[in-house]
Amino acid sequence: MKNPIDVNLTSPEVLKDPFPTYDLLREKAPVYHVADDDIYVLTRFDDVRSALRTHEDFSSVAMGRIHSHGLGRSDGKSDVSMDEFAAQLETTRNMATSDPPDHTVMRRFLAKRFTPKRIEAWTSKVQGFADDLLDDLIEAQKGGSADLAHDYAYSLPLIIIAEMLGVPYERRQEFRRWSDQAVGIFSGAPLTQEVQMGCLQLAAFFAEQVAMRRANPGGDDLISLLIEKNPDDDPEAMMDDGVIVQTCTLLLIAGHETTANLLCNATLSLMEHPEQRAELENDFSLIPNMVEEVLRWNSPIQAVYRATTRDVEVAGVTIPKDKTVLCCVGAANRDENIFPNANQFDIHRDIEEHLGLGSGNHFCIGAHLSRIEGRIGMETLLRRTRNMQLSGEPTRALGNILRGWTHLPVKFDIVEPSESTDS
CB of 48 to ligand HEM, least distance (A): 10
Candidates 137-145, 277-285, 298-306, 414-422: pick the segment binding ligand HEM (CB under 6 A): 298-306
Residue 29 or 63: the one with the smaller Cβ distance to ligand HEM is: 63
Within 13 A of 8's CA, how many CA atoms are on the CB side?
6
Q: What string marks each residue from 118 to 147 as x (binds ligand HEM by CB under 6 A) or -?
A: ------------------------------
* Sites for ligand HEM among residues 233-262 (CB under 6 A): 250-251, 254-255, 258-259, 262
Q: By CB under 6 A, is residue 358 in contact with ligand HEM?
A: yes
Within 13 A of 331's CA, how many CA atoms are on the CB side?
30
Q: How far apart are the C-alpha atoms of 99 and 52, rounded to whole Å?
A: 11
Among 161, 268, 381, 401, binds ligand HEM (CB under 6 A): 161
Q: What is the DSSP letter of 151?
A: I
Q: What string marks each residue from 262 to 291 as x (binds ligand HEM by CB under 6 A) or -?
A: x-----------------------------
CB of 6 to ligand HEM, least distance (A): 28
First to last CA, the chain: 56
Q: What is the CA radius of gyration of the chain?
A: 21
CB of 141 to ligand HEM, least distance (A): 25
Q: What string marks each residue from 380 to 419 as x (binds ligand HEM by CB under 6 A) or -?
A: ----------------------------------------
Residue 60 or 196: the one with the smaller Cβ distance to ligand HEM is: 60
Q: Which of 125, 149, 67, 136 is nearest to 372 (CA)?
A: 125
* Sites for ligand HEM among residues 41-60 (CB under 6 A): 52, 60
User: Cis omega (within 30 of 0) on the bond before 101?
Assistant: yes
Under rule CB under 6 A, how many of the chain's residues touch ligand HEM? 27
Say how far residue 290 (Cα) sits from the centre of its chain: 18
Residue 201: phi, psi to the nearest 5? -70, -35
Instruction: Tell me the DSSP string of 215-259.
Output: HS----SHHHHHHS--TT--SGGG--HHHHHHHHHHHHHHHHHHH
Q: By CB under 6 A, is residue 307 in contact with ligand HEM?
A: no
Q: By CB under 6 A, is residue 95 in contact with ligand HEM?
A: yes
Q: Are 52 and 355 in contact (CB under 8 A)?
A: yes
Residue 13 or 363: the one with the smaller Cβ distance to ligand HEM is: 363
- Contacts (Cβ under 8 Å, ≥6 apart) of 47: 30, 31, 314, 315, 332
The residues that touch ligand HEM, with contacts defined as CB under 6 A, are 52, 60, 63, 95-96, 107, 161, 250-251, 254-255, 258-259, 262, 300-301, 304, 329, 356-358, 362, 364-366, 369-370
